[in-house]
Chains A and B, each alone.
Chain A
Amino acid sequence: MSVLPKRAATWLPALLLSVAVLGQVGADAADGKDLAGDTTIRLSTSAHEPVTPIPVSVVLDSGKVALGHALFFDRRLSGDNTRSCAGCHQLPPLKASRPLEGMSTLQGDPPRSVPLLYNSGVLFWYNWDGRYRTLEEVISGAVTQPDKLATTWKALLARVEADYATRFAALYGQGLTVEQVTDVLAEFLRSLNTPNARFDRFLRGESNVLSADEASGYALFKEIGCSSCHSGVALGGNFFERFYIYDHAGEESEPRLQDQGRYYLTQDESDRNVFRVPSLRNVAHSAPYFHDGSAPDLEEAVEEMGEHQLGLVLTEEQRRLLVVFLQTLSADHQGVKP
């Protein structure tokens, strides 16, 4: 009996409210503001730089990070209970002044260098062939791929449910799902940024942080066109480029060109030998270089890049300056232990 007036009482405000919201939206649109509430502020200092510093703060859910942390080191994530994510992706402590050695190993078929996962949250493409666009996709792919965790989501959830159900329930209000496991692992990876490289400080305005050589190296980096590809916040990881643009006689049979890269994915002729431009963040820690680990040190990598990607023969001084500059991209990190 009282349904009608009551409903009318709720409709009317709702109607008025929606009208008001629409009016507001119209006004906002007229002001030219970002309708999505996208609060990214583009720093004017880096507006003319090809590189953007890593954001100093990231909004994270500590509960999810903790859960992701636990899962990252859980061997039961793999089909045979032997390998955790950390089994391949070590998260060693980083010290800018002391580059790690031999961190990158080759995995998979074709064998490709396993990247360090620091700063993976700022990338736009993942894997050497750009198979994934988001961290969630990466994680999802890693679970099922036979050369990675080699299991199924159903089996994985069944293995870990007993231990994690209550913690997930506390976070999400319900038991384990694929989305939740992916979410916490992605959140954990997003927590692995290393924002305080000297170069970032430079970009943020500390102009005297870089030495003269380093500054010269950066200038050279921009001048000869390295920054054309290694741009953005990760100095790479944002688009694709062909390996060996500029080749010379006798190098068609080069073994490293056997890996057709993105072609495997797209079956497009123009994608032969095309790879994702790798990020140069902490590049000093990730020798040996290239997708196949064929360049043992930075100097050689720089030389080959100049030769094959830019069509330039770099002088020894140029190479030194570039290496010096690249070392400013290293940051400290205490590492992550299980």
Chain B
Amino acid sequence: MGLIKEHKHVDFSTKSAPWTVQDLSDFRKIMQEIKEKNAKKKERSLRKIVKKVTPTQ
């Protein structure tokens, strides 16, 4: 386990302004793309595992 240490002179505070409908819509598109990529990656690695454990005939 480690720590993300902010710099001594950097104060890490955030106040978010509400995101516009457009911001959210564009963000959701990006998020969907990343989620799809992640799902494909997961599927590929699962296939590899299945291939390894399935005996060849």
Q: Do A and B come from one complex?
A: no
A contact residues vs B (CB 8 Å cutoff): none
B contact residues vs A (CB 8 Å cutoff): none
